[in-house]
Amino acid sequence: MLNSLQIDNFILQHLLTVLSICWTMINGMFWNIRGVLKAPNFRRLLRLIHMHGVQFLAICKSKLDVSNIETIRLRLSFDYVMVNLLAGLWIFISP
């Protein structure tokens, strides 16, 4: 069985491979936020994504159930999402 560090390294290696194939330069954002679905926070996040053309978004410690992830991906207009349950990290990508 893999431990959390091995899983994190695998996810990071896979993500870097995908990013290196798709982009030479991307706009990214990392946000440590609780309550991402609260209306003011979500509006702020949407505004920042559109204002800066964010193609890579990492949300850390959102404290939400992972069952909401697909709804959030669609509302944020990202193409892909990866989740690390142990670290509470959600990664959204749009090539």
Q: What is the pTM of this model?
A: 0.69
Where residue 35 falls (left for φ over 0; alpha for ψ -120 to 50; beta otherwise) is: left
* Helical pair 69-76 and 39-52, crossing angle rounded to 10 deg: 50
Per-residue tens of pLDDT for the chain, all 95 residues: 444 455 566 777 776 676 665 555 678 888 887 777 788 888 998 998 999 889 999 888 766 777 778 888 899 999 998 888 776 788 899 87
